[in-house]
Amino acid sequence: MRFPLRIVAFAAAVTLTVTGCGGGTSSSPTVDVSTGTTPAVAPTPAAPLDAKAVLDRLTAAKVGLTGGAVQTEDTDPNDLLGRPNGYLSRASADMPGGDREGDKYTIDRGLVIEVFPTTADADRRSEFIQDALKGMPILGTEYHYRTGEGTVLVRVSGKVKPSVAKKVEAAVAGL
């Protein structure tokens, strides 16, 4: 039995149309039939920053960082990495004005990046450090900067010149 060419072409077009619509994996927007509008597509949230990503971005911003290093649980001078009430990741770097003879990975050398699970955890850490420094001025001072998401605390030694610290502040604001 032979089918007219018109029917064969129509059947092929219908088959291709149906097969192309199946699966539900298409990323093209759908139209709400009741309103005739296309719903807004929410942007995919960016992955949260970790200390290495922040260190890389600050290094690329040319704020004067050298000797950058990501700490592990074996090299964390505070023993807070991965522990309860601690940070998720940590990195440090030397900065002009910091003490290059200071203990490795410490704020004395210039800059420390700490990433916490929540904004409240980062707030708590920053407040604890600032309160301790105010209570014992002999310990020195620090500049503290936060990313827009609030879980990243960037600490800069108070020995670093204010003009250099302002460059770090501007770079952190751009993260």
**Average pLDDT for runs of 10 along the chain of length 175:** 48 45 47 57 63 94 94 94 94 94 93 95 95 93 90 95 94 89
Please indicate, yes or no, if residue 24 is contained in any of the structural domains: no
Please indicate, yes or no, if residue 145 is contained in any of the structural domains: yes
Please indicate, yes or no, if residue 29 is contained in any of the structural domains: no
Please indicate, yes or no, if residue 109 is contained in any of the structural domains: yes
Q: What's the pTM?
A: 0.72
Please indicate, yes or no, if residue 111 is contained in any of the structural domains: yes
The C-alpha atoms of residue 42 and residue 33 are separated, in whole angstroms, by 20
Tell me the average pLDDT of the chain: 82
Please indicate, yes or no, if residue 33 is contained in any of the structural domains: no
pLDDT number for residue 174: 87
The range of the structural domain enclosing residue 111 comes to 51-173
pLDDT number for residue 20: 46
Instruction: Indicate if the alpha-carbon torsion angle 160, 165, 168, 169 is positive or negative.
Output: positive
Please indicate, yes or no, if residue 31 is contained in any of the structural domains: no
Q: How many structural domains is the chain composed of? A: 1
**Phi and psi at residue 48, in whole multiples of 5°?**
-60, 145
Please indicate, yes or no, if residue 7 is contained in any of the structural domains: no
pLDDT number for residue 38: 55
The C-alpha atoms of residue 56 and residue 59 are separated, in whole angstroms, by 5
pLDDT number for residue 22: 46
pLDDT number for residue 49: 84
3-state SS, the chain, equals CCCCHHHHHHHHHHHHHHHHHCCCCCCCCCCECCCCECCCCCCCCCCCCCHHHHHHHHHHCCCCCEEEEECCCCCCCCCCCCCCCCCCEEEEEECCCCCCCCCCCCHHHEEEEEECCCHHHHHHHHHHHHHHHHHCHHHCCEEEEECCCCCEEEEEECCCCHHHHHHHHHHHHCC
